Amino acid sequence: MPSRKTKLWILTMSLGLGAAIQSGCGNTIKVIASPDQPGKLILNPQQNDTIEWQASVNPKFLGPAPCEGGKPQNGKCKVNQTSGKYLYKCDVCKDPEVVVGPDIPVVVLHSAAALADAAVAPELVSLWCDNNQVALDPAEVDFTAKSGDTVQTLWVNTGSGSSFIKDWQVNFTGTSPCTETQIGDGHDNTCTIKVPALPPPPAPTPTVLKYTYTASSASSSCKTPNLNGIIQVTVQ
């Protein structure tokens, strides 16, 4: 049976090939390897290309979408942006990504690759500016893990133009649970949490650990109020 990584590669490659066939006018939509998540491929269309998802894939963009009408229509997305990064989820795949134009990152500042084969997969959060306010999708990330596991949350600043927050930052309430000392533009964009050992019986199980953080723009280019997000870990 193919591994999850192999299935993702096959699925994403089929999406890219389908997109190239359906885009019309001889357009070719590139499929490229993610520079920061091994085993993941990225669709790299240009403005006016059309992405058509097949194989019962129903995409839901997390935050901004690069499509005419603001979202895919009947499984199709005609790209109306010239640049930007965009995340989406679907029923049969894990946080695929669309990068429009030449915006493929060259330098990788976070450590999600370290957990590519971990039992608990990293969770991605889309972060963007919506009407001058920081927005997150999902605002709450939930993990189910065991004592000693490592979990990761990875923030991706998505969108383009006024929706793109270049100087974003994340600050936890109280003591940060993350291995990383600073999270935001120019630093890590990953929070790595080592799940602590459970107390001995008769402590109730499972134990729920809840961490609250604030996402903001360092220079207030995306104005306050800032948005609170949550990372919750259920330890079994």
| Helix (H), strand (E) at residue 2 | none
Give the DSSP H or E segment for 178.
none
Per the structure, the count of domains in the chain is 2
Residues 66 and 126 in one domain: no
Residues 224 and 116 in one domain: yes
Shared domain for 121 and 218, answered yes or no, is yes
Same domain, 95 and 126: no
pLDDT number for residue 236: 84
Q: Is residue 27 part of a domain?
A: yes
Q: What is the mean pLDDT of residues 2-17?
A: 40
pLDDT tens sequence across 120-131: 778 889 999 998
- 45, 76 Cβ separation under 8 angstroms: no
Q: Are strands 140-145 and 227-235 parallel, antiparallel or unpaired?
A: parallel
- The rounded distance, in Å, linking the Cα atoms of 66 and 156 is 15
Q: Domain of residue 58: give its range.
A: 4-100
189: nearest Cα among 159, 168, 210, 165: 168
What is the DSSP secondary structure assignment for residue 226, as one 8-state letter? P
72: domain CATH number is: 2.60.40
Are 199 and 178 contained in the same domain? yes
Same-domain check for residues 129 and 70: no
pLDDT of residue 113: 45
* Domain identity same for 142 and 213: yes
Identify whether 106 is part of a domain. no
Q: Do 202 and 96 fall into the same domain?
A: no
| pLDDT at 93 (0 to 100) | 73
What's the whole-model pTM score?
A: 0.78
Residue 158 and residue 87 share a domain: no
Both 166 and 225 in a single domain?
A: yes
Domain boundary among the residues 51, 76, 100 is at 100
CATH code where residue 164 lies: 2.60.40.10
- The answer on pLDDT for 31 being more than 90 is no
Same domain membership, residue 215 and residue 150: yes
Residues 79, 46: contact at Cβ < 8 Å? Answer: yes
Total Cβ atoms within 10 A of residue 210: 11
d(CA 92, CA 143): 19
- Per-residue pLDDT averaged across 14-19, rounded? 42
- Quick: pLDDT tens for 155-186: 999 999 989 998 999 999 999 999 999 999 88
Residue 105 belongs to a domain:
no
Q: What is the pLDDT of residues 181-210, one digit of tens each?
A: 999 988 888 999 999 887 666 666 678 999
**Is the residue at 90 inside a domain?**
yes
- Residue 46 placed within a domain: yes
48-87 pLDDT, tens digit each: 999 998 877 888 999 999 999 999 988 899 999 999 999 9
Give the residue from 80, 100, 120 where a domain finishes.
100
Same domain, 117 and 201: yes
Q: Pick the last residue of a domain from 100, 126, 150.
A: 100
